[in-house]
């Protein structure tokens, strides 16, 4: 029972995080993602420089240009990533706390992610951001990837443990 409550709270918490992130204005969201991209680039370059993979740090103009150029793809990947996490939580929740068949858990996780993605886009339309069905598809692709990895891991586990007693 406690495990079920924990999974439910984890899923709800993640949905609240998605809701809060979606509540940001387009400008705020774009600026935050660009800042994350710049900071991440600087960090990765610093580590690469420290271990000798690169021979100099990029200029701030270079980092700014990189962050500007890659901000949109980064935002789209982030869309898929948050739903990847949600689908993973849901798959574990269904499989660890119910007797639901694997394929039913996969369909339920995908369905919940798709429906929440639709409501997420609707929510964005009320806060001055665009509601794009393509973002729903990206979100669902992230969920599909998570479910696919889960199913592959289960299949691989069965294959590798066949014959063991």
Q: Which two tokens stand for residue 110?
A: 């995908």
| Element of type H or E holding 156 | helix 133-161
Mean pLDDT by runs of 10 across the 165 residues of the chain is 91 95 88 95 96 95 95 93 97 92 96 96 88 93 98 93 73
Q: How far is CA 148 from the centre of its chain?
A: 14
Question: For residues 90-127, b (16+ Cβ closer than 10 Å) or e, as one string?
Answer: bbbbbbebeeeeeeebbebbbebbbebbbebbeebeee
- The pLDDT assigned to 121 comes to 92
- The pLDDT assigned to 103 comes to 95
d(CA 33, CA 149): 26
Q: Which two tokens stand for residue 113?
A: 């992610």
C-alpha angle 104-109-113 in degrees, rounded to nearest 5: 150
| Element of type H or E holding 5 | helix 2-22
List of residues 6+ apart from 129 with CB closer than 8 A: 22, 24, 25, 26, 29
- The pLDDT assigned to 102 comes to 93
CA dihedral for 37, 39, 41, 47, sign (positive or negative):
negative
The pTM (predicted TM-score) of the whole model is: 0.87
d(CA 143, CA 132): 17
d(CA 74, CA 138): 12
């Amino acid at each position: 029972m406690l495990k079920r409550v924990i999974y439910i709270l984890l899923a709800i918490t993640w949905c609240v995080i998605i809701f809060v992130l979606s509540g940001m204005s387009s400008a705020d969201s774009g600026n935050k993602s660009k800042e994350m991209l710049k900071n991440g680039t600087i960090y990765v370059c610093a580590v690469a420089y420290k271990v000798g993979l690169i021979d100099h740090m990029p200029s701030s103009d270079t980092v700014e240009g990189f962050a500007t150029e890659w901000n949109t793809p980064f935002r789209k990947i982030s869309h898929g990533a948050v739903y990847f996490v949600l689908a993973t939580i849901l798959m574990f929740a269904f499989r660890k706390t119910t007797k639901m068949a694997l394929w039913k858990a996969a369909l339920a996780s995908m369905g919940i992610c798709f429906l929440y993605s639709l409501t997420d886009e609707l929510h964005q339309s009320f806060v001055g951001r665009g509601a794009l069905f393509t973002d729903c598809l990206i979100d669902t692709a992230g969920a599909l990837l998570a479910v696919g990895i889960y199913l592959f891991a289960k299949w691989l586990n069965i294959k590798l443990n066949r014959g063991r007693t």
